[in-house]
Structure 1
Amino acid sequence: MLMREPAPGLEQRQAAEDLLPSPVPVRFVAEDGTAADPPAGYAVPEDERLVEAYRRMVAGRRFDRQATALTKQGRLAVYPSSRGQEACQIGGVLALRDADWLFPTYRDSMALVSRGLDPAEVLTLLQGGWHCGYDPAATRVAPQCTPLATQTLHAVGMAEALRRKGEDAVVMAFIGDGGTSEGDFHEALNYAAVRRAPVVFLVQNNQYAISVPLAKQTAAPALAYKGIGYGVRSEQVDGNDLVAVLSVLTTAVRHARAGDGPWLVEAHTYRMDPHTNADDPTRYRDGGEVEQWESADPVARLETYLRGRGVLDDEQVTAAHEAAEEFAARVREAMNADSEPAPLEIFEHVFAEPTPQLREQRALLAAELSASED
């Protein structure tokens, strides 16, 4: 396979005005589900893609509810809900091809199952397993990342590797608003811009980094402006409008694939549920705020919009919910199956070459297990 030409040099820097995001978030659909004035430069996705997105959003929300229930039942150690962020999760996945890579955070399980990964494998990490549960190379999905923003550096490295190998592939890195305060994020933007790496950064700004509101994280007018100083094309979008999210991300991915450099897309959305099952959100936000965002529910908004266009009817809606219930049942069945623990696995992959202390500890545990069996 032939390598592509080296990344362009300084003479091909973009003009500052070409990097600026829209002054207000891009929107195609108003909160009540009616069509908004179409923004310049972006096209409405095909009806077939939007109907498919609706099906996946319904299934994704049901999966999220099921995973939350499994946590309460003790089947998962922790689960970070993404209810309310369905448009971001599904829009991001639908903008990619199978050959493209996804670098998710711990809150992006919904996106992974929508991409086709086995739900039981996706939830392995949150169940307390020692590995991510699925094969990143086979699925082209990196392990879900818990440390903030570290996956952005990995995503850029993968994008640069793909470019050098001449692969027709793009990388999308999911990140939360809190992650944009980390140094790794800024290093990733800078390197991606210099190398014109085919990577898209999707910031799901759900308004809180755990309990820290956005106003205490940044004084920027929007997180989208953080890309400009590094030479990264930036945009902001209504993250609860699937039509807008899919349109903007499809454009961003197309530009990155064509060699036009990275994009930073900030999606304004909201986390409806607690940060995780260990969080009490009533300590830092009030119910009125949650109710206000619930009126902008991304699933209901898309359903109303598609019904208005005449491309979605009662039969299709019912079928989508029935399929989601069947999917949730399969998730329950898989997660309720007890697995046989392998205690000695805790010593694997700690070091490439086990230390004497680890060998000694392993031998002691092996002897204890053997004695208990006898």
Structure 2
Amino acid sequence: MASKKAQFDAEKTLEKIESQFEMVQVLNEKGEVVNKDLMPDLSDEQLEELMRRMVYTRILDQRSISLNRQGRLGFYAPTAGQEASQIASHFALEKDDYILPGYRDVPQIIWHGLPLYKAFLFSRGHFIGNQFPDGVHATSPQIIIGAQYVQTAGVALGMKKRNKKTVAVTYTGDGGTSQGDFYEGINFAGAYGAPAIFIVQNNQYAISTPREVQTAAKTLAQKAVSVGIPGVLVDGMDPLAVYAVVNEARERAVNGGGPTLIETLCYRYGPHTMAGDDPTRYRTSDTDNEWEKKDPLVRFRNFLVEKGIWNEEKENKVIEQAKEEIKEAIKKADETPKQKVTDLISNMFEELPNNLQEQYEIYKEKESK
């Protein structure tokens, strides 16, 4: 029996959708402008400040890895390679915007106002590291993969109901897009037109699982189509492209255009975390070398040097400033009183239940000796 001819071509429809998601890029790997029409309207001073923050963040990452190996920090997820994705996206935000970070996104909330010593205390699991100063509009970094996406949808809806001209911004990795919370968050925000920006930092690996193994989607940005919101794929190693895309998404959101899903195509040069991950077991040196050629700092440095607004002297000054401030911050973290068991118990409830009250008294007596 002859097979019945299909009345539609589902594969062709998918291919047509996927072909629409071309990567947005302003600077190529050499730091040359390849798309003048997308060049963001940033002054020389703003460009220099963006570079300063990226250099500072790279040094912070290097020193944090060292401090972790010395046993002076706890949990730490390296950020080298993702500075354009993280710092340029934050550079497009306003102070009153709300950030709901993942565990790798500590740099963004530091630049949003979190004191550096508190970031170190967060890494140590100290409760003071989760006590943010007034005016720092951010939550503590989320450890549960993708959970911040649902929370962001709620925060953004609250902003809309209060008629605020602000956005809620969140981040996750490529692995986060395989979580149920990811879909629930972007669907909820889309259904209610909430002013949210959902950023997926596609650094190629969910710990050791390659992106192509966890999903059949050719891009992660195209997942926006399933919930009817705009999706953008951007070169996550290009700070100007990242800034331009996030800035546009923010403008659309605060003017009633709803949420946007942004995939930043990037790479983490270090391990997933410092808790025993060994990237040499699942990545080749050839892959590492290929992505090192796309280093966001090298690319942006070349662009700024060519414009005559950056040089080795300025960069060295930033490096020394970063080292000194990190030294002072870790010292302040060291001087913070050690966390006690009674602190943990008393922070859990406003009024302790009987069983915890008994434990509190027991530990209070032990700690007084």
TM-score when normalising by structure 2: 0.90
Whether the 8 Å CA contact 1:136–1:143 is kept in 2: the answer is: no
Q: What is the Cα deviation at residue 212 of structure 1?
A: 0.8
Distance, in Å, in 2 between the alignment partners of 1:21 and 1:157 is 32
Deviations 1:184-218 (A, max 9, x none): 11011111111110010111111111111101111
Q: What is the Cα deviation at residue 42 of structure 1?
A: 6.3
1:346 aligns with 2:312: no
**Other-structure match for 2:62:** 65
Helix, strand or coil: the match of 1:328? helix
Whether the 8 Å CA contact 1:132–1:144 is kept in 2: the answer is: no
Please tell me the residue identity of whatever aligns with 1:345: D
Deviations 1:18-74 (A, max 9, x none): x98953211111112222234x56645443322111000011111111111111111
Paired residue total: 352
Distance, in Å, in 2 between the alignment partners of 1:268 and 1:236 is 7
Q: What is the Cα deviation at residue 353 of structure 1?
A: 4.3
Distance, in Å, in 2 between the alignment partners of 1:48 and 1:368 is 56
Helix, strand or coil: the match of 2:221? helix
Helix, strand or coil: the match of 1:138? coil
1:83 aligns with 2:80: yes
**Other-structure match for 1:231:** 228
Q: 1:118 aligns with which of 115, 118, 127?
A: 115
Q: What is the Cα deviation at residue 357 of structure 1?
A: 2.1
Distance, in Å, in 1 between the alignment partners of 2:331 and 2:115 is 13
Distance, in Å, in 1 between the alignment partners of 2:128 and 2:175 is 25
**Other-structure match for 1:55:** 52
Deviations 1:125-182 (A, max 9, x none): 2112246433276300111100011111111111111111111111111111111111
**Other-structure match for 2:14:** none
1:289 aligns with 2:287: yes
1:222 aligns with 2:183: no
Please tell me the residue identity of whatever aligns with 1:201: F
Report the CA distance shift for 1:338/1:117 in structure 2 as closer, same or farther (over 3 A): closer
Report the CA distance shift for 1:353/1:341 in structure 2 as closer, same or farther (over 3 A): closer
Q: 1:268 aligns with which of 259, 265, 274?
A: 265
Q: How does 1:189-208 map to 2 (within 5 A)?
A: 189-208=186-205
For structure 2, the 5+ residue unaligned runs are 1-16
Q: 1:318 aligns with which of 313, 316, 319?
A: 316
Whether the 8 Å CA contact 2:149–2:170 is kept in 1: the answer is: yes
Deviations 1:257-292 (A, max 9, x none): 111111010000001101111211111112221111
Helix, strand or coil: the match of 1:83? coil
1:158 aligns with 2:155: yes
For structure 1, the 5+ residue unaligned runs are 1-18
Deviations 1:68-105 (A, max 9, x none): 11111111122101111001111121111111111101
Q: How does 1:330-369 map to 2 (within 5 A)?
A: 330-337=328-335, 339-351=337-349, 353-369=351-367
Task: Say what the alpha-carbon RMSD is for the aligned residues.
Answer: 2.0
**Other-structure match for 2:124:** 127
Q: Larger deviation: 29-38 or 66-75? A: 29-38
TM-score when normalising by structure 1: 0.88
Report the CA distance shift for 1:353/1:25 in structure 2 as closer, same or farther (over 3 A): same
Q: What is the Cα deviation at residue 220 of structure 1?
A: 0.6
% same residue: 33
